[in-house]
Amino acid sequence: MPSPLLTLRGLGKSYGSVRANHAIDLEVAEGSIHAILGENGAGKSTLMKLIYGVETPDAGEILWRGAPLRVTSPAEARRAGIGMVFQHFSLFDTLTVVENISLVVPGTKADLGQRIRTLGQTFGLDVDPQAYVHALSVGERQRVEIIRCLMTDPRLLILDEPTSVLPPQSVERLFQTLQRLKEGGVSILFISHKLDEVRAICDRATILRAGTVVDNVDPRGHDAHALARMMIGHAMPEMAHARSLAPGEVLLQVDRLNHRPDDPFAMALADMSFEVRTGEVLGLAGVSGNGQAELTRLISGEWTLPRADAERVRMMGRPVGDRGAADRRELGFAFVPEERLGRGAVPDMSLADNSLLTAHRLGLVRNGLIDRTREAAFTRRCIEEFDVRAPGPEAEAGALSGGNLQKFIVGRELMLAPRLLFVAQPTWGVDIGAATAIRRRLVELRNQGCAIFVISEEIEELFEICDRVMVIREGRLSPSLRIAETDVQEVGRYMVGTREGTGGGDERAHS
Rounded Cα distance between 302 and 88, Å, is 24
Q: How far apart are CA 199 and CA 227, in angstroms?
A: 9
DSSP reduced 3-state for 187: strand
The one-letter amino acid code at 227 reads: L
**58 binds other proteins, rule: CB under 8 A:** yes
CB of 70 to other proteins, least distance (A): 4
| Per-residue x/- track, 291-310, other proteins (CB under 8 A) | ---------xxx--------
Considering the rule CB under 8 A, would residue 363 count as an interface residue with other proteins? no
Residue 126 engages other proteins in binding (rule: CB under 8 A): no
Min CB(80)–other proteins separation in Å: 12
Query: Judged by CB, which is closer to other proteins: 137, or 354?
Result: 354
Binding residue (CB under 8 A) for other proteins from 97, 112, 325, 452: 325
Confirm if 285 and 470 have CB atoms less than 8 A apart.
yes
Cα of first residue to Cα of last residue in the chain, in angstroms, is: 52
Beta carbon of residue 156, minimum distance to other proteins (angstroms, whole number): 17
Count the residues in the chain: 511
Instruction: Give dist(CA 400, CA 188) in Å, integer.
Output: 30
DSSP code per residue over 286-319: --TTSSHHHHHHHHHTSS---GGGGGGEEETTEE
Here's the x/- map for other proteins, 59-88, by CB under 8 A: it reads as xxx--------xxxxxx-------------
Report the alpha-carbon distance of residue 74 to residue 174 in Å, rounded: 24
Cα 213 to the center of its chain, rounded Å = 24
On whether the CB atoms of residues 431 and 41 are closer than 8 A, the answer is yes
Number of residues binding to other proteins, judged by CB under 8 A: 48
CB-nearer residue toward other proteins: 174 or 352: 352
3-state secondary structure of 70: coil
Q: How far is the CB of 16 from other proteins (least distance, A)?
A: 5
Query: For other proteins, which stretch binds (CB under 8 A), given 191-199, 235-243, 284-292, 329-337?
Result: 329-337
Our measurement of the distance from residue 162's CA atom to the centroid of its chain's CA atoms, rounded to an integer in Å, reads: 10
Q: Which of 329, 407, 412, 419 binds other proteins (CB under 8 A)?
A: 329
Q: Cα–Cα distance between 132 and 322 in angstroms, integer? A: 35
Q: Does 279 bind other proteins (CB under 8 A)?
A: no
Among 317, 342, 392, 501, binds other proteins (CB under 8 A): 342
Write the binding mask 7 to 46 for other proteins: x where contact by CB under 8 A, - elsewhere. Answer: --------xx------------------------------
Q: Which residues pair with 284 in a beta bridge?
A: 455, 470
Stretch that binds other proteins, among 137-145, 182-190, 339-347, 430-438 (CB under 8 A): 339-347
SS3 40: coil
Q: Which of 356, 376, 450, 496 binds other proteins (CB under 8 A)?
A: 356
Selected from 236, 331, 399, 416, the binder of other proteins by CB under 8 A is 399
Burial bucket for residue 407 (CB in 10 Å: 0-12, 13-18, 19+)? buried
Phi, psi of 181 (to 5 degrees): -60, -40
Closest distance to other proteins from the beta carbon of 235 (Å): 35
Q: Is 447 in the site for other proteins (CB under 8 A)?
A: no
Smallest distance, other proteins to C-beta of residue 484, A: 34
CB 454 within 8 A of CB 423: yes
Q: Which of 23, 217, 346, 416 binds other proteins (CB under 8 A)?
A: 346
Element housing 332 (H / E): none
316 vs 370, beta carbon nearer other proteins: 370
Q: Which of 36, 345, 438, 466 binds other proteins (CB under 8 A)?
A: 345
In the complex, the residues that contact other proteins under the rule CB under 8 A are 15-16, 56-61, 70-75, 90, 104, 300-302, 324-329, 335, 337, 339, 341-349, 353, 356-358, 360, 365, 368-370, 396, 399
